[in-house]
Structures are given as C-alpha cells and as structure tokens.
Copies of this chain bind each other. A is one copy, B any other.
Amino acid sequence: MEAAITTLVTQFKTYAGKDGSSSTLSRDEFHNLVTSQLPNYVKNASDPKTIDQLMGSLDENNDGELTFCEFWQLIGKLASKEGGFCS
C-alpha cells in the first residue's frame, strides 16, 4: 500500500508542478492529470464541461486551484466507486 500511496503523491506533484503554484493543480494541470492518469475512471474527460464540473465540485474555497486534500476527495470517490462501496 505504501508504494501505491507514494505513486499518487508523486503523480500529483508532477502535474501540480507544471505551472503556477507547485503544490496545487490549476484547471489546466487538473485537465492534463485526469486525461492522462484517470482515463477509465473519469468519463468524458476530454470534454471541457466535465473538467469544469469536477473542478467546481472539488474546489471548496473556489480559488481555481486544487490542493492535495481537495484532490484526494476525488480519488476517494473514484476508489469507492471502483470498489463497489457506494454508487
């Protein structure tokens, strides 16, 4: 499990580090991450509306950037769905 956690952290940092703040995901960074890393988990990832809706639902303080904690909630929802724990 530790290796899997490290992978998630490392990938987040890789995408978050591309522009602006290196510890948060901008909309473009988030878009890149979702289309590259979560192509099967997030449907219609190439549709800008999908990204806008996801981003809006996760960005709790509405600053246009996703922190690691905000991002983690998305991953948790995807994992939960993957595991059949909730619909």
A interface residues with partner B (beta carbon < 8 Å): 1-9, 11-13, 23, 33, 37-41, 67-69, 72, 75-76, 78-80, 82-83, 85-86
A-B contact pairs, 28 of them (CB 8 A): A1-B7, A1-B33, A1-B38, A2-B37, A2-B38, A2-B40, A2-B41, A3-B4, A3-B7, A4-B5, A4-B8, A5-B41, A5-B75, A5-B79, A6-B82, A8-B79, A9-B82, A23-B85, A67-B85, A68-B79, A68-B83, A68-B85, A69-B80, A69-B85, A69-B86, A72-B72, A72-B76, A72-B80
Copies in the complex: 2
Pairwise interchain contact B82-A5, C-beta atoms closer than 8 A: yes
